[in-house]
Each structure stands twice: as C-alpha cells, then as structure tokens.
C-alpha cells in the first residue's frame, strides 16, 4: 500500500490531472511480469514506488527504518534523453529512523525532477534521489539513506525468500473501478546487514527488512479517506500483509484484505470479515493534532492450523509521525513488536494515513 496518498497529492499539485488524450498504462489480467526487469521503473504508468521498512540491531542498540522512493509520471510517454529535461518525471523520497532507546524519531523528505538529482532505471532495480539509493547488487540490494546530518545508514539486503505478487490474477484491486489497481510485488523477508550512524556514533547492525514495489496509474475512490496497513514478520518464518481501507461513511471498504505468506512463499488470502482490525492505543500528535490508533489488534485464522489468532501490534515508541510533508500530507509510519498474549512473536511496521488530513478533500 505504502504512501500512495502522498504520491497522489504531489502529482496533482505539480502537474494537474492528466488530459483525456493522455493514456496511462494500467495493470492488465494475463500480463506476465518479468524479473529482474520489472523490479525497475515503468514510466508508462503514472505512479510507482519502492518501499522498505526494517528493524536492525547492534549489540546494544535498536533502530527502525523506513525508506520510500516514488516516481511520479508527468506525461504517459518516454521523452528521449536530452529532450524536455526534467519535465517527464518527478521523484519524491521519504526516510524515517526511530531509536526507541532515546525515544527519538527523525525523518526527511526530498522532491526532485528527473534527470538532475534523481532517476530510476527501466532495466532493473536502480533508484536514486540525491545520495539516497536503492540498487540491485550481488544477488541482493544495497540501500543507502540519511536524515540531514543527524543519521545515515548503508545496508546490504539479501532475500531470505523470493518475491511474491499480491492480488487475484496478479492484480491488487483497491476499488470497483478497473483502473483502481496495481501490480504489487513484495520481498516479505530480507536479511539486512550494514552500518547505522546516529547521534554521532556508528554501529554495525543486522536484522530484517520488508520491501514493496507497486506500479499503478489509479487514484483512490472518492469515498476513501485513508487506510491502516501493516506488514508482520513472525519468528516462525511466516508473514502477514494486511490493510483496512477506511471510507467517509465510517465503514471499511470491501476491498480491504489480509494475506498470510508461508515459509515457501505460498499465499493465503482473507477478506474483511474473515479477519478483524480493532483500533486501540490512541496517540495524539502534538504537531498535527491527529489521533492515531497506534496499537491495533488483528484477529485472524491461522491457515496452517485453523486456529484463531489475535495479534497486538505495540509500537517501539509512540511518536513516529511523518508530519507536514509536501502537499500538507502527514501520516504515522512506525516500528512495532507483535504480541500474542504475553509473548512477543515477531516484529511489524504499521502505516496509518488520513488521520491528520482529509485525503478525499485533497483529491477533489
């Protein structure tokens, strides 16, 4: 899911709505994605993002990180190199780092036109925004990021299991319109190793990460005001990707979903009603005044055992809001532990949008 709202707001603000003559590509049933090429950029689609979250540890410290690279198409055509320099693509990127030991959360946003200080390869995974970069390297990936002069990291990411593709017939649908969909590619478990510099100190760190790559040309339905999304990585080698799309009637959208991923990468899908997302743990932002339910309970049926499971996501720290970004968009994006009863059974990242501002208003 991963921050589509910020993408849409920036796209509409900077370029306006596409004219009727402009034809963006859309996800199509029967299309076969080809790798490693499709880990790269797709400029015939309007909106694309590469989203990573993770938990890394030194001998004494714990950090959570988020890095998202966006490509925002301005025209549904490829402009030859050297022509219309910087007018065809806009690149936005967000990085957030949490250090719960000191109750510190820092973040930064970048916005650049294509060609000068940002780019994304069409041949494979190679995305950059300034000195931030995500690139395929040695059978894995390298992620380089920073937050101003306060922190930086360089991480090597190695897939523990191959990527999965969410959605029926390879298409993840977000609404009733045929174009309200994406190709949704995920590496649900990456082994992370590298260095983290924070507060003037540098540590060798290791842990696990999650990566989403979504390719789309759609907008949210007019009645959708935001969503709650989470990726859960369990100690038993399985994962969950789940979200609830919230509507202006107060009812969740029927296009909400939850997917279990087993150790081999096989998927088990559940519709809303087959799982429950229960809000809990309200935190009020001192910056935006938004009230976020930062500690939800997710109730689901384990596809392996058939047992009912109840998972409580507890954030490593409350203040993990990405506040007042471009277009006035703020959202909560934070590292969590997964509790089942009195036991921690894994780690998660939680994203909540539409609490600080009305997405519907921004898209009208």
Check the CA dihedral 110-115-117-119 and report its sign. positive
- Encoding tokens for residue 219? 């907008």
pLDDT in tens, 121-162: 999 999 999 999 999 999 999 999 999 999 999 999 999 999
Continuous segment of H or E residues that includes residue 14: helix 4-15
- Cα–Cα distance between 236 and 342 in angstroms, integer? 17
Nearest to 121 by CA among 91, 156, 153, 165: 91
| pLDDT of 180 | 77
315 HSE (CA, 13 A, CB side)? 27
Tell me which long-range contacts 105-110 makes (C-beta under 8 A, separation of at least 24). 105/317, 105/319, 105/320, 105/321, 105/334, 106/147, 106/148, 106/150, 106/151, 107/147, 107/322, 108/146, 108/147, 108/148, 109/322, 109/325, 109/326
Mean pLDDT, rounded, of the chain: 88
Is the pLDDT assigned to residue 361 strictly greater than 70?
no
Continuous segment of H or E residues that includes residue 9: helix 4-15
Q: Classify domain 4-363 at the CATH superfamily level.
A: AttH-like domain (2.40.370.10)
The full set of domain ranges for the chain reads: 4-363
Is the pLDDT assigned to residue 92 strictly greater than 70?
yes
Is the pLDDT assigned to residue 62 strictly greater than 60?
yes
Indicate the burial class of 78 (C-beta count within 10 angstroms; 0-12, 13-18, 19 or more). exposed
| pLDDT of 356 | 87
Is the pLDDT assigned to residue 19 strictly greater than 50?
no
| pLDDT of 343 | 98
Query: How many percent of the chain have pLDDT more than 90?
Result: 69
3-state class (DSSP) for residue 37: helix
pLDDT in tens, 279-298: 999 999 999 999 999 999 99
Grade residue 18 by pLDDT with cuts at 50, 70 and 90: very low
Mean pLDDT of 165-192: 88
Check the CA dihedral 264-174-211-237 and report its sign. negative
| pLDDT of 222 | 64
Indicate the burial class of 114 (C-beta count within 10 angstroms; 0-12, 13-18, 19 or more). buried
- One DSSP character per residue, 230-257 reads EEEEETTS-EEEEEEEEETTSSBPTT-E
Is the pLDDT assigned to residue 273 strictly greater than 60?
yes
């Amino acid at each position: 899911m991963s921050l589509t709202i910020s993408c849409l707001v920036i796209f509409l603000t900077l370029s306006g709505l596409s004219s009727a003559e402009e034809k963006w590509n859309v996800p199509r049933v029967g299309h076969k994605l080809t790798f490693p090429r499709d880990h790269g950029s797709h400029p015939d689609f309007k909106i694309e993002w590469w989203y990573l979250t993770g938990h890394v540890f030194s001998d004494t410290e714990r950090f959570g990180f988020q890095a998202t690279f966006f490509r925002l198409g301005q025209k549904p055509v490829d402009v030859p190199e050297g022509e219309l320099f910087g007018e065809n693509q806009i690149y936005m990127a967000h990085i957030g780092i949490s250090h719960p030991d000191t109750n510190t959360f820092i973040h930064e946003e970048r916005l650049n036109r294509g060609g000068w200080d940002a780019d994304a390869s069409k041949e494979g995974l190679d995305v950059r925004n300034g000195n931030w970069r995500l690139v395929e390297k040695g059978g894995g990936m390298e992620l380089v990021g920073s937050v101003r002069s306060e922190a930086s990291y360089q991480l090597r990411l190695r897939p523990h299991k191959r990527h999965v593709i969410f959605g029926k017939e390879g298409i993840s649908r977000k609404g009733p319109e045929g174009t309200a969909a994406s190709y949704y590619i995920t590496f649900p478990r990456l082994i992370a190793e590298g260095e983290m510099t924070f507060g003037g100190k540098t540590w060798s760190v290791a842990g696990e990460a999650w990566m989403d790559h979504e390719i789309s040309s759609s907008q949210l339905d007019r009645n959708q005001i935001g969503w709650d999304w989470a990726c859960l990585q369990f100690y038993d080698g399985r994962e969950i990707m789940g979200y609830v799309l919230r509507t202006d009637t107060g009812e969740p959208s029927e296009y909400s979903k939850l997917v279990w991923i087993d150790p081999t990468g096989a998927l088990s899908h559940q519709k809303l009603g087959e799982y429950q997302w229960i809000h809990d743990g309200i935190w009020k932002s001192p910056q935006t005044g938004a009230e976020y339910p930062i500690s939800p309970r997710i109730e689901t049926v384990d596809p392996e055992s058939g047992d009912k499971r109840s998972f409580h996501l507890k954030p490593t720290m409350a203040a993990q809001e990405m506040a007042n970004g471009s277009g006035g968009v703020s959202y909560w994006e934070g590292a969590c532990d997964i509790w089942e009863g009195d036991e921690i059974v894994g780690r998660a990242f939680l994203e909540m949008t539409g609490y600080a501002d009305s997405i519907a208003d921004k898209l009208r």
